[in-house]
Amino acid sequence: MAKKTDSQQIDLGLLPTLLGYRLRLAQLAVFADFVVSTGSAQMTPSLFGALVVIEANPGLKQTDLARAVRLDRSTVVSVLDTLEKRQLVIRKRGLTDRRSNALELTATGKQLLAELLPRIEDHEQRLVQNLSASEQTTLAQLLGKIFPAD
Amino acid sequence: MAKKTDSQQIDLGLLPTLLGYRLRLAQLAVFADFVVSTGSAQMTPSLFGALVVIEANPGLKQTDLARAVRLDRSTVVSVLDTLEKRQLVIRKRGLTDRRSNALELTATGKQLLAELLPRIEDHEQRLVQNLSASEQTTLAQLLGKIFPAD
DNA sequence: AACAAATTGTTTGATATCAACCTATTTGTT
DNA sequence: AACAAATAGGTTGATATCAAACAATTTGTT
């Protein structure tokens, strides 16, 4: 008597027409797949983003990392606490400016990142698997039009 | 000597190629504009979403609301605490099932929602103003392809 | 009818995030 | 040189969220 799948007779009103709602659903899906994809590494998009940016800009300071990954400076503190506790990152005292830290990946951090990259590629592939190549390009373009600041 | 705007020589690595990163940027922008758009109403996407779904489904219970807006049941408790404190929503005891609450908007809640709707429309318009009508359609389609479950 | 299993709303504990403030240090002005 | 202003990292407090456990109630099985 159709009791299994009728859970969604709920009217979402105008929500499905709102871009913000769509984006939130999208992010939920992406995040879930990300965590699965990275498996046992206890990784999150935030931690991963920090690793990527530090690798690409060794020696950068926390404030610049914060701006790059669009997190508050205070949030970056806790992100780095986590990464440093896992021995993936080190905070070296700034040479020229003793207020700042020079961030670098440890050998372990570089290694983990290297192991993660193919998994992230798979993850990305999985997300866009229902889109043709041109559709993927279009999506990126449209998102870029709405939200500049690359 | 170019010290004002050179803050972004930071290499984001592969981040800009990741859909999840793009979506996060998008959400940040949407959220910021949402809050501005709704002005003094102390509104957030979550609270607004709950109001919309309750209006469209008067009498629904918290568990169903949670599923609809994709929040945990426990999160819905705090959302409703907020909305009820502001006298926008009431939790009526369920008639048939005494475990559940029947949610309804108060008169104030209906009125606020009515006042909010045009602002949300403006908000939405502002977001997609750089896209043509067909581009808007395309974007919605592509997002829908990646993330079903409307 | 009795009792095991599921469901509902809630509480508690954990994590992620922002904003405001703090101290140490550096930079800029006089 | 002296000192005001800006900057760096950090701490604290607030909010949003999830997950696990819980009591009350309902449903299902015998």
pLDDT number for residue A3: 34
With a 7 Å cutoff on the CB, does A80 touch strand D?
A: yes
How confident is the prediction for chain A on average, in pLDDT? 89
Query: How far in angstroms lies nucleotide C13's C1' from the CA of residue A141?
Result: 42
Q: What is the pLDDT of residue B1?
A: 32
CB B145 within 8 A of CB A22: no
For the residues A44-63, what does the mean pLDDT come to?
97
| Chain B residues closer than 8 Å to A70 by CB | 24-25, 28
Distance of A97 CA from D7 C1′ (whole Å): 10
B73-79: long-range contacts (C-beta < 8 A, 24 or more apart)? B76/B50, B79/B46, B79/B47, B79/B50
> In which band, very low, low, confident or very high, does the pLDDT at A149 lie, cut at 50, 70 and 90?
low
- pLDDT-based confidence at residue A120 (cuts at 50, 70, 90): very high
Please, are residues A12 and B56 in contact by the beta-carbon 8 Å criterion? yes
Yes or no, beta carbons of B139 and A142 under 8 Å apart: yes
Q: Is the pTM of this model over 0.75?
A: yes
> CB of B99 under 7 A from strand C?
yes
Chain D nucleotides near the protein (CB, 7 A): 7-13, 16-21, 24-27
DSSP code at position A96 = S
Closest-approach nucleotide to residue A96, Cα vs C1'? C26
3-class secondary-structure state, position B22: helix
Which residues of chain A make contact with B71, given a CB cutoff of 8 A? none
d(CA A142, CA A112): 33
Nearest CA among A115, A53, A118 for reference residue A79: A53
The secondary structure of B65-116 as a DSSP string is HHHHHT--HHHHHHHHHHHHHTTSEEEEEPSS-TTSEEEEE-HHHHHHHHHH
Chain A residues with CB-CB distance to B14 below 8 A: 52, 117, 120
Residue A4's pLDDT band (boundaries 50, 70, 90)?
Answer: very low
Cβ-proximal residues to B94 (8 Å cutoff; 6+ apart), any chain: B61, B100, B101, B102
C-alpha to C-alpha distance for A17 and B124, rounded to whole angstroms: 9
- Reply yes or no on whether the pLDDT at B150 is more than 80: no
